[in-house]
A and B are shown apart, each in its own frame.
Chain A
Amino acid sequence: MSDYLNDNPNVVEENDLPSRKVSEDDQLLMGSVGSQTCLKKKRLLLKIDNSGQSSVQQAVELLDKMLLLNSAPELTSDEESVEETDGESLEQTNEEWEPVDAQEIYDLTAHISDPEHPLSLGQLSIVNLEDIEVHDDGDYNKMAEVIIRITPTITHCSLATLIGLGIRVRLERALPPRYRFTILLKKGSHTSENQVNKQLNDKERVAAACENEQLLGVVSKMLSTCK
């Protein structure tokens, strides 16, 4: 029964999942938001905060909170003035305008739990970095497209659909409305690819599924392991 691409996956350790290459120094600063702009902001803000008495660790925690809120206007102007004195470019300081890349989509989806196993979709290689395509020119006023090809470990139709639904719900909740998601089963990974693909990308069926409490309960459980 080895007709399927991923019927006996090598389980990958959580720590070995693909992620951005960062130096140890940077890793210390990495919170749940991992973009370069964010990192830059954190460094800049750390400099400011060093004048205070708090330890580095506390500052990192505080910064994480502040950056996640991402709306305090004083923060932005402070940062801009710091950048100006540093002579750095002011362009693209607004995070909303920064395009999302495949790694970010991967980070959002790889930690979703498999509905059957106590492992994540990344560990089971159901979601793979190289199977994520992003078309985004970063313009806040334009639509952007994300195409994810998943490789289910099981050939049972409804579970593949459930995994796809989990990924869709996760991305729709995490990313702004300008993103359009296409979730497909990787070619040759499933007996009824087309059928599952059609379901996963039918807006009305997805909306109805999201009003089904039982289904939503299962999806919430899958998403509870997301970082």
Chain B
Amino acid sequence: MAISLIRSLKLQNGKTWALDFTPQGNKLAIASEDHKIKLVEIESLEKKQFKLVNVLDDTVHKKAVRTVAWRPHSNPPCLAAGSFDTTVSIWSFANNDNAIEDDDDDDDAGAGLEANEMDLMAIIEGHENEIKGIAWSHDGMFLATCSRDKSVWIWETDEMGEDFECVSVLQEHSQDVKDVTWHPSKYLLASSSYDDSVRIWSEFDDDWECVAVLNGHEGTVWCSDFAKDNSEETRLCSASDDSTVRVWKCVEEEPDGQQQWICESVLPKAHERQIYSVSWSDDGLIASTGSDGSIVVYKESAPAVWEVVETRKLAHTVYEVNEIKWIKVNGRNILVTAGDDGCINVWDFQVLLSQ
């Protein structure tokens, strides 16, 4: 079996909606239905040691926390969390113990918890309804937020993450916007919506505009993720209520900034119900999960030809799985999933040599 469970961490009784890991891959932030944001540290993957190191001030959000995202290139690490209460909270570690250089001065037992104290830096308000997705640009300069109010907002921030200025409100979607995601190296944003489309947004002449609409899914698009290879190609995968995963490719950029995208592939159908989440690894594998509780991993065996390399059913027993992400720990790609059972499951994935 190529997918094997390393550890299942039960965090609460309600749903775990989402997770994100620090760029160093050693801390997970978890968004859950109980209005809380939890931090789990990966102490040792080999020894399967994980530790719940902090639960952030649970009076900040009045409803479920739907989404979390660590800011890239931020020292100390900075976290954004979006809630059904229509706000986004910004958090930063209280002291510098979490600086990327390792300190050796946390010998006393209490230091672990103190080191993981996070201060509330800002609350971002503006959306009219539940926040459904948030994402930082690759350099941490912009934060994108999306909501049931059909809009995507782009915020520019300072180094400390205390001031947020809304630089654009994008309102072309006709229904809820479920998820936003940034290109790994460009100012290119993708938004997925209840209106069955994905829209691509780019900065042009100092303003943000929609440069492409990806139509093809026959149901809500829940999630999308850009390819992380460093090639010139710009590709995106998307997951939908119609139980398919599609891969899209930008084939032309016009002088006026508009882009031509095509649906390059519909991945082999491996899910029976809604697909809620999809993640593209830095070594080219796509993983998906959703209402049927299965994890499916796909590989591109030839350009634009995809095959299923592994399926793991009942990843959170009989519960639905809300999010899946590849994370890199000590140079090794592992999968982490968040389920309705209140668990975070950590999975080892090894590509078999025969494949």
Contacts and interface: CB of A to CB of B under 8 A. Distances in A.
B130 A143 contact: no
Interface string B50-92: 0000000000000110100000000000000000100000000
B64 A205 contact: no
Contact of A143 (B194, B220, B293): B293
A207 B319 contact: no
Contacts of B220: 198, 202
Among A143, A176, A198, A202: residue with most chain B CB under 10 A: A143
Interface residues of B, number: 27
Contact of A208 (B84, B273, B274, B319): B84
A142 interface: yes
Nearest to B64: A211
Contacts of B274: 203
A141 B314 contact: yes
Contacts of B66: 204
Contacts of A186: none
B15 A205 contact: no
Given A143-B293, A202-B220, A177 B318 contact: yes
Interface residues of A, number: 15
B40 to A, nearest CB: 22
Contacts, number: 43
A209 B154 CA distance: 26
Nearest to B222: A204
A99 to B, nearest CB: 14
B64 A207 contact: yes
B117 interface: no
Nearest to B276: A203
Contacts of A208: 63-64, 84, 130, 148
21 contacts: A141-B318, A142-B318, A143-B292, A143-B318, A176-B318, A177-B318, A177-B319, A177-B341, A180-B273, A180-B291, A198-B219, A203-B274, A203-B276, A203-B291, A203-B320, A204-B176, A208-B63, A208-B64, A208-B130, A211-B63, A211-B84
Interface of B: 15, 33, 63-64, 66, 84, 130, 132, 148, 176, 178, 194, 219-220, 273-274, 276, 291-293, 314, 317-320, 340-341
Given A176-B318, A208-B64, 19 more contacts: A141-B314, A141-B318, A177-B318, A177-B319, A177-B340, A177-B341, A180-B273, A180-B291, A198-B219, A198-B220, A202-B194, A203-B291, A203-B320, A204-B130, A204-B176, A205-B176, A207-B84, A208-B63, A211-B84
